[in-house]
């Protein structure tokens, strides 16, 4: 996919991976619509891109709502032309375990999955007519493996990977490109808040992430993902450890599940010992 001269929309671009992606696509020559549900954070990202001399426009939007997605696409067309690349990056982490309220499940699935489906449903007819277009799904290693502790996040990210895969299979011969990024631990406010949570289940989930692969910077995720888009590759894995773990899972699924059970138990015991040693409240 040629990025130079393209028009890109990046959701959840107010911080973390989204900000890095917006900056990277702009630096690669795309005109970028920077979007976030927090308009002020989106503005700060856009200001940084502007100061670097790249083309950008900012728009506050809820990436899970059809009218907001349509507004982003209209904004891109009004300022630069038809959207060539849509980066579905906005995401949320749900509360851990099964004891989630229906609203928590709904929000996680709306933002992490249905936002992608709704954007694709709007864009694909136009892309198929043009014979080109690129959908970038920022999923997670949790979508290939799992997420200890966080059922809603694991389920939603599996669904995001599955939808991206379906898009690639269904529309690949019609000129549509799909890239699915599956990072593990990334140095973002989301991961840091989980690591520092007062909830032991949240800290357990964070421990599983940081122990399984190197924690990388958002800029590295963006660099690897933009390169995957250039090369028309489906899977973007910022950490090679994820590929190894995924292969082990596929090679011996029963053993992998049993191993994860044991791993979760060991992590839980270690987390409990740390909490008791520090005098922290164990929940």
Which structural domain, as residue segments, surrounds residue 218? 7-242
Residues 6+ apart with CB under 8 A from 283: 198, 199, 200, 201
What is the total count of domains within the chain? 1
Instruction: Report the pLDDT value the prediction gives residue 271, as an integer from 0 to 100.
Output: 55
Structural domain includes residue 273: no
Give the strands of the sheet with 235-236, arranged side by side. 56-60, 31-36, 7-10, 85-88, 133-138, 176-181, 235-236
- 47's tokens: 């200001």
What is the Cα–Cα distance from 23 to 180, expressed in whole angstroms?
Answer: 18
- 143's tokens: 């979508």
Structural domain includes residue 117: yes
Instruction: Report the pLDDT value the prediction gives residue 173, as an integer from 0 to 100.
Output: 97
Structural domain includes residue 51: yes
Residues 6+ apart with CB under 8 A from 185: 191, 209, 210, 212, 213, 214, 215, 216, 239
CATH number (domain holding residue 105): 3.40.50.720
User: How many Å is the maximal CA-CA distance in the chain?
Assistant: 62
Structural domain includes residue 256: no
pLDDT tens, position by position, 69-119: 999 999 999 999 999 999 999 999 877 777 778 888 999 999 999 999 999
Residues with catalytic roles: 153
Structural domain includes residue 227: yes
Q: What single DSSP character describes residue 37?
A: S
Structural domain includes residue 76: yes
Block means of pLDDT (10 residues each) for the chain, 283 residues, are 97 97 98 98 97 96 97 98 98 79 92 98 98 98 92 95 98 98 90 72 78 91 98 97 95 95 82 43 31
Instruction: Give the start-end residues of each E strand in the chain.
Output: 7-10, 31-36, 56-60, 85-88, 133-138, 176-181, 235-236
Structural domain includes residue 107: yes
Q: Kindly report whether the global pTM for this prediction surpasses the value 0.75.
A: yes
With tokens 């839980």, the residue in question is 268
Structural domain includes residue 1: no
């Amino acid at each position: 996919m040629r990025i130079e001269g393209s028009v890109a929309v990046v959701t959840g671009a107010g911080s973390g991976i989204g900000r890095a992606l917006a900056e990277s696509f702009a630096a690669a020559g795309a005109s970028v619509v920077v979007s976030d549900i927090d308009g002020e954070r989106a503005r700060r990202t856009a200001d940084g891109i502007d100061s670097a001399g790249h083309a950008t426009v900012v728009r506050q939007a809820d990436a899970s709502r059809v009218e907001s997605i349509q507004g982003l696409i209209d904004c891109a067309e009004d300022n630069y032309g038809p959207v060539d690349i849509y980066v579905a990056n906005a995401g949320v982490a749900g509360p851990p375990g099964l004891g989630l309220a229906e609203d928590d499940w709904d929000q996680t699935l709306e933002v992490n999955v249905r936002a992608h489906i709704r954007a694709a449903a709007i864009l694909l007819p136009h892309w198929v007519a043009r014979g080109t277009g690129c959908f970038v799904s920022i999923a997670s290693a949790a979508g290939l493996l799992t997420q200890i502790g966080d059922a809603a996040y694991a389920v939603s990210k599996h669904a995001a990977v599955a939808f991206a895969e379906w898009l690639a299979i269904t529309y690949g011969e019609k000129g549509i490109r799909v890239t699915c990024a599956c990072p593990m631990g990334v140095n973002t406010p989301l991961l840091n808040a989980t690591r520092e949570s007062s909830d032991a289940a949240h800290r357990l989930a964070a421990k599983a992430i940081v122990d399984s692969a190197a924690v990388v910077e958002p800029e590295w995720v963006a660099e690897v993902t933009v390169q995957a888009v250039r090369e028309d590759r489906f899977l973007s894995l910022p950490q090679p450890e994820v590929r190894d773990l995924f292969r082990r899972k596929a090679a011996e699924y029963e053993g992998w599940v049993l191993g994860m059970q044991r791993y979760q138990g060991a992590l839980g015991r270690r987390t409990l010992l740390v909490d008791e040693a520090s005098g922290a409240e164990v929940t």
